[in-house]
A and B are shown apart, each in its own frame.
Chain A
Amino acid sequence: MPALNVNPTRMELTRLKTRLRTATRGHKLLKDKRDELMKQFLDVVRENRELRKKVEEGLERANAGFAAAGAVMSPQMLEQALMYPKASVSLDMTFQNIMSVDVPAYHFHTAAGAVGAPYGFAQTSGELDDAVDALSEVFQDMLKLAQVEKTSQLLAQEIEKTRRRVNALEYVKIPQMQEAIKYITMKLDENERASTIRLMKVKDMLLKEAIEDRRAADQAAVETFTPPAEA
């Protein structure tokens, strides 16, 4: 019985009714938001799974390539070949708004001179070229994966938050207020009945008193005007 610490007054009742209206409306809105978020989220998450599988496969291929290159070349040579990158990647980030959740959208661009391998071909093996090629192929998908995965994480967080709010309103707040409103209404009705009864009682008592007064007066008059029985 959580509602029992409210004042059973008319003012409180009006206040609670307004709050209940707001809460119901908010609940409906949040529920809609949750449903739409969920719809978006499921799309994103499906894409996420596909991309992840693709990227993992691609990276495995690239790693196998590097392993092969490492077998042919000495580690120092390999290190040296990759030490100075020709390309440099930078990233622009804009925000996209999905149901008031800001999710990042990445646009990357490589700096000029990015064509070809960053090393001379004289002292490196062909395996290394293949490996770097495989890696740059999968890199596009890796960027997309980053965007999609971040989006799904942020959406998941927002959905969780919204779901909690919806549930709190639906199962705690709104029933509590309804309970309180019911309690106040009953209390007010009860008060009204009590005061009616009190009025009726008082009226009865007054009436009785009036009748008795009248009776006494009548009696007195009768006694005054009755002639003495034996004069």
Chain B
Amino acid sequence: MSEYKIAAIGDRDSVMGFRALGLEVVPAEDPEGAKAALHRLAKENYAIIYLTEGLAQHMAPEIARYKDAVTPAVILIPGREGSLGIGLDAVKTAVERAVGADIL
């Protein structure tokens, strides 16, 4: 059992609030910056990385890379522009991957 940290990546306005909760906040305005931040955080001992959907839609390969690893868990959250449905789509994809069809 060891200590892990939690981080949030996203545009400044979306993730600012997490700082109040004590999360590590990495503001990133474009997908390039977010990619770099994601890789950097994944190398350090961050167990959970929250990522806004707005950025996530441009960096699917980077997210897929961490999908099968135990750490970090990259979790998509809606940014300030509201839910884009990408997070729920990811759940659906997982079901399709496992079962072969969307059965839910």
B44 at the interface (CB under 8 A from A): no
Give chain A residues whose Cβ lies under 8 Å from the Cβ of B70. Answer: 95, 102-104, 150, 154
Query: A38 and B98: CB pair below 8 A?
Result: yes
With contacts A85-B22, A146-B75 taken as known, whether A155 is within 8 angstroms of B98 at the C-beta atoms is yes
Query: B6 and A49: CB pair below 8 A?
Result: no
How far, in whole Å, are A102 and B104 apart by their CA atoms in the complex?
A: 25
How far, in whole Å, are A67 and B75 apart by their CA atoms in the complex?
A: 23
Count CB-based A-B contacts (< 8 Å). 149
Query: A56 and B87: CB pair below 8 A?
Result: yes
How far, in whole Å, are A159 and B87 apart by their CA atoms in the complex?
A: 21
B21 at the interface (CB under 8 A from A): yes
Binary contact track A141-169/B, C-beta < 8 Å → 1, others 0 = 01101110110111111011001000000
**Contact pick for A91, options B5, B75, B91, B100, CB 8 Å:** B5
How far, in whole Å, are A163 and B100 apart by their CA atoms in the complex?
A: 10
Query: A93 and B21: CB pair below 8 A?
Result: no
Give chain A residues whose Cβ lies under 8 Å from the Cβ of B67. Answer: 153, 157
Among A13-21, A130-138, A208-216, the stretch that binds chain B is: A130-138
Give chain A residues whose Cβ lies under 8 Å from the Cβ of B97. Answer: 156-157, 159-160
User: Which residue among A38, A48, A103, A156 has the maximum number of chain B CB atoms within 10 Å of its CB?
Assistant: A156
Give chain B residues whose Cβ lies under 8 Å from the Cβ of A78. Answer: 16
The secondary structure that dominates the B interface is: mixed
**Contact pick for B13, options A66, A90, A95, CB 8 Å:** A66
The secondary structure that dominates the A interface is: helix
With contacts A91-B47, A159-B98 taken as known, whether A70 is within 8 angstroms of B13 at the C-beta atoms is yes
How far, in whole Å, are A155 and B98 apart by their CA atoms in the complex?
A: 8
Query: B22 and A87: CB pair below 8 A?
Result: yes
In A120-142, the 8 Å CB interface with B consists of: 131-132, 135-136, 139, 142
Give chain B residues whose Cβ lies under 8 Å from the Cβ of A159. Answer: 97-99
Give chain A residues whose Cβ lies under 8 Å from the Cβ of B40. Answer: none
How far, in whole Å, are A207 and B72 apart by their CA atoms in the complex?
A: 87
**Contact pick for B17, options A48, A104, A135, A149, CB 8 Å:** A135
A55 at the interface (CB under 8 A from B): yes
Query: A66 and B98: CB pair below 8 A?
Result: no
Looking across the interface, which residue of chain A has its beta carbon closest to that of B81?
A: A63
How far, in whole Å, are A94 and B70 apart by their CA atoms in the complex?
A: 11
Minimum-distance CB pairs A-B, first 6:
A87-B22, A150-B73, A159-B98, A156-B98, A91-B4, A88-B22
13 of the cross-chain contacts (CB-CB < 8 Å) are A45-B104, A52-B88, A62-B17, A63-B14, A66-B17, A78-B16, A87-B22, A89-B23, A91-B5, A106-B48, A132-B17, A135-B20, A143-B6
Question: Residues of A at under 8 Å CB distance from B?
Answer: 38, 41, 45-46, 48-49, 52-53, 55-56, 59-60, 62-63, 66-67, 70, 78-79, 82-83, 85-95, 102-104, 106, 108, 110-111, 114, 117-119, 131-132, 135-136, 139, 142-143, 145-147, 149-150, 152-157, 159-160, 163
